[in-house]
A and B are shown apart, each in its own frame.
Chain A
Amino acid sequence: MESIGVLLACPMNSYLEQQLDKRFKLYRFWTVPDKSSFLASHKDSIQAVVGNAAAGADAELIEALPKLEIVASFSVGLDKIDLTKCKEKGIRVTNTPDVLTEDVADLAIGLMLAVLRKLCESDRYVRSGKWKRGDYVLTTKFTGKKVGIIGLGRIGMAIAKRAEAFSCPISYYSRTEKPEIKYKYYPSVVELAAHCDILVVACPLTKETHHIINREVINAMGPKGVLINIGRGPHVDEPELVSALVERRLGGAGLDVFENEPYVPEELFGLDNVVLLPHVGSGTVETRQAMADLVIGNLEAHFQKKPLLTPVV
């Protein structure tokens, strides 16, 4: 398979890169001086694209690669891939579901605890030497708080299971109600927001869910409400969120994703009720290895004409 051209969209994982290099003819897209002339001269060699949450395969790239057979994403999210175009052209698409579900759910709970219990700020307090002068402030108990989940897929369900262990009543919003699920369903995000203490975004990013957290939802959450986003930055109207937090119209936020990564609104840096993470939802040694193995496994299966491991299209 060493002659098969694979285009790696951006740096994502050195183990993955190594493995791709060993098995295929690897092209590192970010090292190329001129992307369009590169594509023009290599269009007949590239049969696969490996993308992730930051970069994938849009319509333009797909059109530029007539020999493209498969797009394997190093992520579970598919928002950077033009799925319609892939379906049209019979291009296969794979992602990395299940292997990262637990890590993302763990981080969602970790963010809830960090925001409510001010863990990062407490750590800062100790490191600054201020403890010698007095105790830190009172924080908010997490156990028993109402958790509202937007999107009850694999990750949403895993978050629910964990939150239940803290006696948190669970409610959710989904495109359709799930009658077999015992959690309380709300038919709109605004209603869900009004009836929970902590709102978590755990749905895929699509045209419909773009800015699903908007001013109306933020208002419904109120000054004690806490937003946790482990989905995608564009799920949230970021300027609205920033002004709500700065003006204390919202109680707090734990954010792993942003509209324009790696740029994070600086107005959030000084807020003690906000925790900001650099998109690390699946960022563990164990899970990134499992994700890389899945990408490699899918590519090998495809080129050996075997069934794909985790196909989407």
Chain B
Amino acid sequence: MAAEDQSQASQSDLPYVLILKPPASFLLFGDHFFDSPNFQYLKAYESPLPLPHFLHTHAQSIQALLSSGGAPVTADTIRLLPRLGLVVTTSQGLNHIDLSECRRRGIAVAGAGTIFSADCADSVVGLLIDVLRKVSASNRYVKQGLWSSQGTYPLGYKLGGKRVGIVGLGSIGTEVAKRLEAFGCSISYNSRSKKPLVPYTFYPNVVELAANCDALIVCCALTDETHHLISKEVLSALGKDGVIINIARGPIIDEKELVRCLVKGEIRGAGLDVFEHEPDVPVELFALDNVVMSPHSAVFTRESFDDLCKLVVGNLEAFFSNEPLLTPVALDDLPHFSGRKD
């Protein structure tokens, strides 16, 4: 009894971190995944109160918020939290956070840094080889017993020597480039601005990039500017021998147009980890052998989640001990993020 009282007392001294909705990690590992002896969580989703009421009740206690892709941090939410000093996100993407409002309020944001870059880049290469060499399609073929009954599978396409165009040469794009160079691919890119120390060819717009590559890789952030960046014009420039890989965000591609191109054979194939309206996927894609899909799982490895745990706890502990954040997001050169959920 006494021990319990004591632990209750020390618990109430710990600062609070708000969680609006459980992140994927909780569903996979249980809700003690990001625990620390130095702070405690306030789980809004466990309260019967409507969110604004809940936030109003606890407004003075909340200094930090743990966010994830499915739990957007809007300006409205931020306004209900006058003491909020930090938003930590478990995702690579930041499009679900109103960064302008954070900047206005002086709220720091801690992201995933580069912990997911290797897994994302590995997914890109895996999907690209799968599409060109028909790995998933021919694995299906063999496992249905068709190799022995129907004979050889149609030939795939060589990866070596292909021109790869990377949309967004950030941490992930750079890891993709490094890997694909080892396969003999030539690398070009489009980014908000040309990167002076980079040996790859820069194209000032995505249409020109697409026209000059065989494989277009989408690695950029979703912002107001990049919504439907991969348009009908870009897909047409990519052409019937071109392949597109998207591990970034679904709305960067005009999905209706992509589906139409794939169904009509106007591009060679696609590897897609993300979609405009997850978990809904256009059913027309299910009939296509030149499309490889994954359920937004580019970072879903045990190793990445271990790294994420250390990073999230590390950032929160740093914040509460007034030490520098491990992975602060620079809020001064912001593209336009309206905080819209993807």
B-binding residues in A (CB < 8 A): 102-103, 106-107, 109-111, 113-114, 117, 119-120, 122-127, 131-132, 134-144, 161-162, 164-167, 261-264, 266, 268-270, 275-278, 280, 283-288
How far apart are the CA atoms of A276 and B136 in the complex, in Å?
9
Given contacts A138-B302, A141-B119, A262-B148, A102 and B135 within 8 Å (CB-CB): no
Cβ-defined contact, B138 with A278, below 8 A: yes
Given contacts A109-B125, A165-B182, A278 and B157 within 8 Å (CB-CB): no
Cβ-defined contact, B158 with A103, below 8 A: yes
Knowing that A120-B135, A136-B300, A262-B148 touch, tell me 13 more A-B residue pairs with CB under 8 angstroms.
A102-B159, A109-B125, A113-B125, A119-B136, A122-B294, A123-B292, A132-B279, A138-B28, A141-B304, A266-B145, A269-B142, A275-B135, A286-B158
Given contacts A127-B293, A141-B304, A275-B135, A117 and B147 within 8 Å (CB-CB): no
Q: Output the residue of B147, B286, B297, B303 with the most chain A CB within 10 A.
A: B297
Q: Which of B122, B138, B142, B280 contacts A166 (CB 8 A)?
A: B122
Size of the B side of the interface (Cβ < 8 Å), in residues, is: 60
Given contacts A119-B136, A161-B182, A127 and B286 within 8 Å (CB-CB): yes
How far apart are the CA atoms of A134 and B296 in the complex, in Å?
11
Check B32 for interface membership: any CB of A closer than 8 A. no
Cβ-defined contact, B119 with A143, below 8 A: yes
8 Å CB interface, B285-321 against A:
286, 292-297, 300-305
Minimum CB–CB distance from B75 to chain A (whole Å) comes to 29
How far apart are the CA atoms of A137 and B143 in the complex, in Å?
21
Cβ-defined contact, A141 with B160, below 8 A: no
Minimum CB–CB distance from B307 to chain A (whole Å) comes to 9
Check B156 for interface membership: any CB of A closer than 8 A. yes
Residues of B within 8 A of A270 (CB): 143
Minimum CB–CB distance from A89 to chain B (whole Å) comes to 32
Minimum CB–CB distance from A224 to chain B (whole Å) comes to 11
Given contacts A114-B139, A122-B294, A127-B293, A165 and B133 within 8 Å (CB-CB): no
How far apart are the CA atoms of A106 and B130 in the complex, in Å?
10
Cβ-defined contact, B133 with A264, below 8 A: no
6 contacting pairs across A/B (C-beta < 8 A):
A114-B139, A117-B122, A131-B278, A139-B297, A278-B147, A283-B156
Given contacts A277-B135, A277-B138, A284-B155, A103 and B160 within 8 Å (CB-CB): yes
Q: Which of A110, A140, A263, A287 contacts B158 (CB 8 A)?
A: A287
Closest partner residue, chain A, to B151 (CB atom): A262
Residues of B within 8 A of A165 (CB): 178-179, 181-182
Check B184 for interface membership: any CB of A closer than 8 A. yes
Interface string of B116-135 (1 = CB under 8 A from A): 00110111011101101111
Residues of B within 8 A of A142 (CB): 122, 126
10 interchain residue pairs of minimum CB distance: A113-B126, A110-B129, A165-B182, A141-B303, A143-B118, A102-B160, A122-B294, A131-B279, A141-B301, A126-B293
Minimum CB–CB distance from B281 to chain A (whole Å) comes to 6
Check B44 for interface membership: any CB of A closer than 8 A. no
Residues of B within 8 A of A103 (CB): 158-160
Cβ-defined contact, A285 with B157, below 8 A: yes
Cβ-defined contact, B155 with A269, below 8 A: no
Given contacts A276-B139, A277-B138, A138 and B301 within 8 Å (CB-CB): yes
Minimum CB–CB distance from B86 to chain A (whole Å) comes to 27
Cβ-defined contact, A141 with B147, below 8 A: no
Q: Which of A139, A276, A285 contacts B300 (CB 8 A)?
A: A139
Q: Which of A123, A139, A167, A276 contacts B301 (CB 8 A)?
A: A139
Given contacts A126-B293, A262-B147, A278-B147, A110 and B130 within 8 Å (CB-CB): yes
Q: Which of B126, B147, B183, B305 contacts A162 (CB 8 A)?
A: B183
Residues of A within 8 A of B133 (CB): 106-107, 110, 280, 283-284
8 Å CB interface, B91-127 against A:
118-119, 121-123, 125-127
How far apart are the CA atoms of A138 and B298 in the complex, in Å?
10
Residues of A within 8 A of B142 (CB): 264, 269, 276-278
Closest partner residue, chain A, to B141 (CB atom): A278
Residues of B within 8 A of A144 (CB): 118
How far apart are the CA atoms of A286 and B156 in the complex, in Å?
9
Minimum CB–CB distance from A23 to chain B (whole Å) comes to 23
Cβ-defined contact, B183 with A106, below 8 A: yes
Residues of A within 8 A of B157 (CB): 284-286
Q: Which of B153, B183, B278 contacts A102 (CB 8 A)?
A: B183
Cβ-defined contact, B305 with A138, below 8 A: yes
Q: Which of A122, A264, A287 contacts B293 (CB 8 A)?
A: A122
How far apart are the CA atoms of A125 and B281 in the complex, in Å?
12
How far apart are the CA atoms of A123 and B143 in the complex, in Å?
14
How far apart are the CA atoms of A230 and B135 in the complex, in Å?
13
Given contacts A119-B136, A135-B300, A107 and B293 within 8 Å (CB-CB): no
Cβ-defined contact, A275 with B139, below 8 A: yes
Minimum CB–CB distance from A90 to chain B (whole Å) comes to 34
How far apart are the CA atoms of A139 and B147 in the complex, in Å?
28
How far apart are the CA atoms of A40 and B151 in the complex, in Å?
30
Minimum CB–CB distance from A207 to chain B (whole Å) comes to 28
Closest partner residue, chain A, to B142 (CB atom): A276
Residues of B within 8 A of A266 (CB): 145
Cβ-defined contact, A120 with B140, below 8 A: yes
How far apart are the CA atoms of A213 and B178 in the complex, in Å?
32
